Amino acid sequence: MFHYDRGLKLTRADLAVDFRRRQPRAFVSHAHVDHMARHEYALCTPSTGALYCLRYGQRPTRDMPYGEPLEFGGLRLTTHPAGHCLGSAMLLAEDGDQSLLYTGDFKLGESATAERAVLPPADVLVIESTYGNPLYRHPPRAGVLDRFFSLVQAALDDDRTPVVEAYVLGKGQEVTRLLTSHGFPVLQDPRIFAVSEVYRARGVDLGDCHLYPGHPLPGHVVVVPPRMHRGSRLPNLRRTVSFAVTGWATHERTRDRLGVDHAIPLSDHADYDELFEAVERVNPRIIYCTHGPLSFVDCLRAAGHNAYPLEPPKEKLTVQTPVQRRLF
Ligand SMILES: [Zn+2]
């Protein structure tokens, strides 16, 4: 049903899935740059299409609203919400004989700005397993948010500007929505604000949120991209308390590694337990893991699942594992 060509391809439809190199026909699960390229023709949800065109300019896309099957190249293709960011989608491909679900980046838990994930059953599951390590179990969201809001309030009470670092697409909007819902107005970096405008146009209310006017305002929180991605720092940010909002904050050294005052463990990826929950809900005959630690395959096998890495082992291409027999 699929083969591996430095990425997942649905064979019958000759459809590349989340390729980072240009393709004649590609499915784009969501608009993070590590999942897309300037394709000749892209299939994606309408929201992902809007974000894709924000990034690359107007390009040929085919809208795939959630839950509306599309007959394409001999396959029936249906998108389902992935819970990762606005428009993020899983792809269910059916050929009349068997079905394959590709999750893309996903999260099962609550999000302030992404559609809640829906997991249909499938014969074959290709699962994105970023946090496929038992070290990564995200703490309960309510407690994390309580701590985050009190630290933000403490910074403001101390006459300092809280500066929250979050990814430009997804986390930036979610953290903004969480803050404004709690009564903290937000000023955004221009790159985050441009994406927020698409969110708003697609019907996501971000509350009291504005473009950073060149200086901080009393009582406001400033949301910026992570410093490693920051081309230029916003002007006039002096007395600040910095926050990183990332799933990796579950790891105790994250705060030091990122050089921030506080690391807040809010993730837009499934944690270890959610990965297992996803597998149980899809109930596949065979599982291929991607974008995560190889050890997750062993964890799945230890739990009785028929699991393999999607990517063939680089140094042992001659060894005939079941995944290679299927793929080559
Ligand atoms: Zn992503």
State the average pLDDT over residues 77-102: 98
Whole-angstrom distance, CA of residue 325 vs CA of residue 217: 61
User: What mean pLDDT, rounded, does the chain reach?
Assistant: 92
Are both 171 and 259 inside the same structural domain? yes
CA 15 – ligand 1 centroid, Å: 20
Task: Say if residue 98 is in the same domain as residue 119.
Answer: yes
Number of domains in the chain: 2
Tell me the range of 225-229, 234-238, 315-319 where mean pLDDT is highest: 234-238
* One domain for residues 222 and 154: yes
Q: How far is the CA of 313 from the centre of ligand 1 (A)?
A: 24
End-to-end CA distance of the chain, in Å? 12
Distance 280 CA to ligand 1 centre (A): 22
pLDDT confidence band for 255 (50 / 70 / 90): confident
My answer on whether 190 and 273 are in the same domain is no
Query: CB within 8 A of 56, min separation 6: which ones?
Result: 38
Tokens of 165: 């670092």
Tell me, yes or no, whether 247 and 213 share the same domain.
yes
In this structure, the answer to whether residues 288 and 218 fall within a common structural domain is: no
Residue ending a domain, among 240, 264, 288, is 264
167 in the same domain as 244: yes
- Domain boundary (247, 264, 281) is at 264
Neighbouring residues of 86: CB distance < 8 A, sequence distance ≥ 6: 47, 48, 51, 113, 114, 115, 170, 173, 198, 199, 202, 204
pLDDT(181) > 90:
yes
Indicate whether 169 and 294 sit together in one domain. no
Question: Which residues have a beta carbon within 5 Å of ligand 1, which is an ion?
Answer: 32, 105
Q: What is the mean pLDDT of residues 213-225?
A: 96
> Are 6 and 100 within one domain?
yes
pLDDT of 56 above 80: yes
Distance in Å, CA 303 to ligand 1 centroid: 27
CB atoms within 10 A of CB 227: 14
Domain that holds residue 64: 2-135+269-327
- Measure 217 CA to ligand 1 centroid, in angstroms: 31
Residues 240, 274, single domain; the answer is: no
**Percent of all residues in the chain with a pLDDT value above 90, rounded to a whole number:** 87
Between CA 12 and CA 119 the distance in angstroms is 23
Distance 47 CA to ligand 1 centre (A): 14
What is this structure's pTM?
A: 0.93
Last residue of a domain, one of 217, 248, 264: 264
Tokens of 54: 């924000």
Q: 83 pLDDT exceeds 70?
A: yes
- Provide the pLDDT for residue 320: 38
Ligand 1 mean position, distance from CA 96 (Å): 30
How many angstroms is it from 160 CA to the middle of ligand 1?
A: 32
Q: From ligand 1's centre to the CA of 167, what distance in Å?
A: 10
Q: Are the C-beta atoms of residues 76 and 70 closer than 8 Å to each other?
A: yes
The CATH number given to whatever domain includes residue 205 is 3.40.50
**What sign results for the dihedral spanned by CA atoms 175, 107, 1, 76?**
negative
pLDDT of res. 230: 54
The answer to whether residues 254 and 202 belong to one domain is yes
Q: Give me 69's structure tokens.
A: 């099957």
Within 13 Å, how many C-alpha atoms sit on residue 4's CB side?
18
Give the model's confidence band at 256: pLDDT under 50 very low, under 70 low, under 90 confident, else very high.
Answer: confident
CATH number of the domain encompassing residue 33 = 3.60.15.10
Identify whether residues 104 and 207 lie together within a single domain: no
| CA 34 / ligand 1 centre spacing (Å) | 7
